[in-house]
Amino acid sequence: MKFRLEKVRLHIIGPEDDKQYAQECYELVRQLGVKDVLFPGMVNVLEYMKKLDFTVLTSISEGQPLSVLESFAAGRPCVTTDVGCCRELLNGMEGNELGSAGFCVPPMDREALCSAMERMCLRVEERYRMGQNGKKRVEQFYRHEDMIQNYKQVYAEVMGKWQGSDSV
């Protein structure tokens, strides 16, 4: 198998609770002859991000992936598939544009994914700028305190409507 780039490492982070799935992953890496793939298991994500240049999310279904926000909090851009709200996370919503924080590719499009990852590897300045855009986005729009306040407000509205209704 010919690889596009040399001197790159892939870190596959996450729990290894599902032993059968983990074994399938290890076996696939072996079968493909892929070098420099690390499986560190569960890690302190923000600490581990210091070792990474960018992150990749290849899901075929998502809502709002926490891993993208974690990556942004560490100033790391992302390559994601165009599922859930990944595109909005990377590019911002209308009216709150800070610049792109990564690349969004169609799900299951291996060539587009490889091209986006290659671009991240080769364009260091662009990658850094995207990481800073993501960090600004998460600091402005995804603060923990704001999330708690928003949940409290939603619960108060729901409880107010429920207490004001005649049906119990």
pLDDT at 1: 47
Nearest to 128 by CA among 74, 56, 57, 48: 74
Residue 100 confidence (pLDDT): 95
pLDDT at position 143 is 86
CATH class, domain 44-143, is: alpha beta
Spell out where the chain has E strands: 10-13, 37-41, 55-57, 78-81, 102-105
Contact 91, 97 (CB under 8 A): yes
Specify the pLDDT at position 165: 63
pLDDT value, residue 133 = 96
What whole-number distance in Å separates Cα of residue 59 and Cα of residue 49? 20
The ranges assigned to domains in the chain are 44-143
- Regarding pTM above 0.85, the answer is no
Q: How far apart are CA 123 and CA 75, in angstroms?
A: 16
pLDDT value at position 111? 94
pLDDT for 28-42, tens place per residue?
Answer: 999 998 889 999 999
| Ranges of residues in the chain whose predicted pLDDT is under 50 | 1, 168
C-beta separation of 68 from 91 below 8 A: no
